[in-house]
Amino acid sequence: MYQIKEKPFIQEINTTIAHENNVRLFVLRLDVIHPIISGNKWYKLKYNIETAKQSGYEKILSFGGAFSNHIHALAGASREAGLKSIGIIRGERPFPLNPTLEFAIQQGMDLHFVSRTDYRDKTSADFIRNLEKRYGPFYLVPEGGSNHLALKGISEIVNKKVKGYDYLCLPVGTGGTIGGIIAGMDGEGKICGFPVLKGDFLKKEIQELISSYNNNSYSNWSLMSDYHFGGYAKFNSQLINFINQFKSDFGIPLDPIYTGKMMFGVFDLLEKGCFKKGSKILTIHTGGLQGIEGFNERFGKLIE
């Protein structure tokens, strides 16, 4: 199994906007725990990798976009765990490969590119059967890695210290991470998710993930749906400026897909006075920094 290289730690963000609003702002640095399997993906994959090995699988397969943090982490985690990994990638093979996919190949991942139409069909029995014909038996991890085993791993992020905060704020993609945090908090505090995708299908999916994990439902959480910046991997100069300013002010790098949008949202809500006076807010740095290189290659060197 793979191990944490550095313990996650909590750091205070000393910003006037927090002082003016009489709250304290902190960040849980999950981005530091491992140079490759960084952030939330480490926790999401932990029990999936373990189960794959214990069930005797030699191969593990999952899905993602060409810049996916999940694919990157899966490639690294599988190699450390001695499993062969297969990545089903949405869209055509880029030439040259971007840094994320280049890394995945270096880790021994077998990349298989499928059209966007076929990709939409990826959960169908036919599609899976064809993959099995091609690759033989494999342990399947859903897109983004969100299943009940992911929630189990994520829930271990919550300890006594984390439970002492009034608010937990984190970015939301497929919802497995917030699901695990909600389950781990088990009714305490208030959890605020910042979806990076448009649409309101998420609430229901998160509820289903939680009940598949512990059969419970909770009401101490909500989704802040105004900070997706137009959708997945969409951005504007305001977001880019915020990310660069944040790094120069506090020495903490944020990624433009997830953590940058979440932190932007938290600062905006702070400005609007949305957090209770006297409260302590813990933002979760879920990692994702591997994506910056590919993002800069694609859009010009925007992130410093």
Ligand X SMILES: *Cc1c(COP(=O)(O)O)cnc(C)c1O
In the complex, the residues that contact ligand X under the rule CB under 6 A are: 39-41, 69-70, 144, 146, 171-178, 255, 258-259, 286-288
Least distance to ligand X from the beta carbon of 138, Å? 21
Beta strand residue intervals within the chain, DSSP E = 9-13, 24-29, 59-64, 84-90, 110-114, 139-140, 167-172, 190-195, 221-223, 280-285
Least distance to ligand X from the beta carbon of 52, Å? 19
The dihedrals phi and psi of 33, each to the nearest 5 degrees, come to -70, -25
Quick one: CA dihedral 175, 180, 264, 17, positive or negative? positive
Three-class SS of residue 69? helix
Edge-first strand order for the sheet with 190-195 is 9-13, 24-29, 280-285, 167-172, 190-195, 221-223
Instruction: Please say which residue, 258 or 267, places its beta carbon nearer to ligand X.
Output: 258
Least distance to ligand X from the beta carbon of 178, Å? 6
Instruction: Please say which residue, 21 or 290, places its beta carbon nearer to ligand X.
Output: 290
Least distance to ligand X from the beta carbon of 104, Å? 14
Quick one: DSSP state of residue 67? Answer: T
Least distance to ligand X from the beta carbon of 30, Å? 9
Least distance to ligand X from the beta carbon of 41, Å? 6
Q: Which residue has the tokens 């905060």?
A: 165
Instruction: Please say which residue, 83 or 172, places its beta carbon nearer to ligand X.
Output: 172
> What residue type is assigned to position 114 of the chain?
V
Using left for φ > 0, alpha for ψ between -120 and 50, and beta otherwise, residue 263 falls in: alpha
Instruction: Please say which residue, 23 or 254, places its beta carbon nearer to ligand X.
Output: 254
Instruction: Please say which residue, 176 or 189, places its beta carbon nearer to ligand X.
Output: 176
Q: Which residue, judged by CB position, is nearest to ligand X in the bound state?
A: 288
Instruction: Please say which residue, 96 or 230, places its beta carbon nearer to ligand X.
Output: 230
